[in-house]
Structure 1
Amino acid sequence: MTESQGGDTPASRAHEAEIALADPAYREAVVDLLGVLAYGEISAFERLAEDAKLAPTLEDKVAIARMAAGEIDRVEPLHRRIRELGGDPFVAMAPFRSALDLFHEHTAPSDWYEGLIKAYVGDGLADDFYREIAAYLDAGTRELVLSSLEESTHAAFVVDRVRAGIASDHRLGGRLALWGRRLMGEALIQAQRVAAEREALSALLAGGVDRPGLDLAALGRLFTRLTERHTERMSELGLDA
């Protein structure tokens, strides 16, 4: 709701949510979105915990472990919201298990640096996609989704380690740039698969609570924005997208 429509007050936001959540199709889409987010956090936790084994120093191992802990801490608020909407969190997560597990299977890092790139670039791509979808949600759900996607304070750690690695071995940069492109491709494939299989999520993008839906041109701009943000992250790491 815009300011000209009465202001973004707690009362107006509650009214907006009440109207939106009265629509069964919209409520199903929200549960779907929260389900994929929750399983994504669990998957990230598992992957980071595994990546910690590749850490070259104890300091690095602790940093990755903290990143993993941050992922799992975000699961419960998502589960709580699913229950509030009358859903079962584990039922809500189940449809997305195959696609996310397949993504991680296809992008298993072979070393420490590939794990860092995946944690920073791969997760960033997914977060950007969910931020785009969040624009079509009621204000309360939108805030929950965005809070679960807040940039980690460990981003500086990843950038520092990758840049230091490239500085000490210039051949590393080329390999990691290729790895980043592979992550981008795999992420888009799985995002398209999820959207195709879950009609509720597709319908959400076709028309939102307080915004018009995406036509083909708008969808193209969405993917352009995702690509641009990916390029920015790669540049921050000292890599070509």
Structure 2
Amino acid sequence: MTPVDSTAVADLLGVLAYAELTAFDRLAEDARLAPTLHGRAALAKMAAAEIGHHVRLTERLAELGVDPAAAMAPFVPALDTFHESTRPKTWLEGLVKAYVGDGLASDFYREIASFLPEPDRALVLEVLADTGHADFAVREVRAAIAADRTVGGRLALWGRRLVGEAMTQSQAVIAEHDRLAELIMTGTGDIAGVGRLIERITTAHTERMATLGLRG
């Protein structure tokens, strides 16, 4: 494996640490939209898992001699812009965002993680693992669609908007951080490799939408 610039590792851990922190905020906020106490508790547990991931990442940054706040700061504008532009208005929109939007982002970062040396590769894959949200979101959304077919159309549109915004956000993160761009280019080998990476992410998104019972 080609040696990886330590600053690229810090960049990836930094963006993920902030992503996990915002995931905690969002899930805790979305929990209040839950129509049942069961749903509220489920999202609260997932929020707790996300803050646990955030702590793991910041601890690793500290081990590398990097200030976690400084590592996260450059990524705040792009991630905050994405979340402000895709703030869910309903419980179901929140579930689709967490499953589809966060799923696409996780696929993207998981691809980059494959280019990292250990132990950072294992850490990133660990924090990107499903916290139990996937199965819960699928059950809730599919049940809602079964009860009211018009829900599916609205959520499909929402899902397509999410993927567009998520891809724009990912491109902005890479475009503004040369070390991450170099890591991706080196890891994939060439432009064709980058194209195959994007194709894999797009395919996974389509499959995720189908699992929800939505047309991507």
- Short-chain TM bin: over 0.9
Structure 2 distance, partners of 1:43, 1:153, is: 18
State whether residues 78 and 169 of structure 2, in contact with CA within 8 Å, keep that contact through their aligned partners in structure 1: yes
Corresponding position: 1:168 with 2:147: yes
What does residue 194 of structure 1 align with?
173
Structure 1 distance, partners of 2:79, 2:133, is: 23
Secondary structure of the residue that 2:214 maps to in structure 1?
coil
After superposition, what is the alpha-carbon deviation per residue over 1:57-81, rounded to whole angstroms, capped at 9, x for unaligned? 1111101111111110101111111
After superposition, what is the alpha-carbon deviation per residue over 1:75-120, rounded to whole angstroms, capped at 9, x for unaligned? 1111111112110000000000000000000100010100000011
Query: 1:119-134 alignment to 2 at 5 Å?
Result: 119-134=98-113
Corresponding position: 1:53 with 2:28: no
What does residue 9 of structure 1 align with?
none
The aligned length equals 216
Structure 1 distance, partners of 2:56, 2:89, is: 33
Deviation of the 1:218 alpha carbon: 1.1
Aligned identity (percent) is 58
AA aligned opposite 1:57: T
Deviation of the 1:153 alpha carbon: 2.0
Secondary structure of the residue that 1:152 maps to in structure 2?
coil
Q: Alignment partner for residue 195 of structure 2, among 212, 220, 227?
A: 220
The root-mean-square deviation of aligned C-alpha atoms, in Å, is 1.3
Q: Which ranges of structure 2 fall in alignment gaps of 5 or more residues?
A: none
Secondary structure of the residue that 1:87 maps to in structure 2?
coil
Query: 1:13-52 alignment to 2 at 5 Å?
Result: 20=3, 26-52=5-31
What does residue 237 of structure 1 align with?
212
Q: Alignment partner for residue 60 of structure 2, among 51, 72, 81?
A: 81
AA aligned opposite 1:231: T
Secondary structure of the residue that 1:110 maps to in structure 2?
coil
Structure 2 distance, partners of 1:82, 1:198, is: 18
Structure 2 distance, partners of 1:221, 1:42, is: 30
Deviation of the 1:206 alpha carbon: 2.2
Structure index of larger Rg: 1
Deviation of the 1:29 alpha carbon: 0.4
Corresponding position: 1:152 with 2:127: no
After superposition, what is the alpha-carbon deviation per residue over 1:206-232, rounded to whole angstroms, capped at 9, x for unaligned? 224xxxx43111111111111100011
State whether residues 184 and 194 of structure 2, in contact with CA within 8 Å, keep that contact through their aligned partners in structure 1: no
TM-score, structure 2 as length reference: 0.97
Structure 2 distance, partners of 1:207, 1:85, is: 22
Structure 1 distance, partners of 2:189, 2:140, is: 39
Secondary structure of the residue that 2:215 maps to in structure 1?
coil
Structure 2 distance, partners of 1:214, 1:76, is: 33
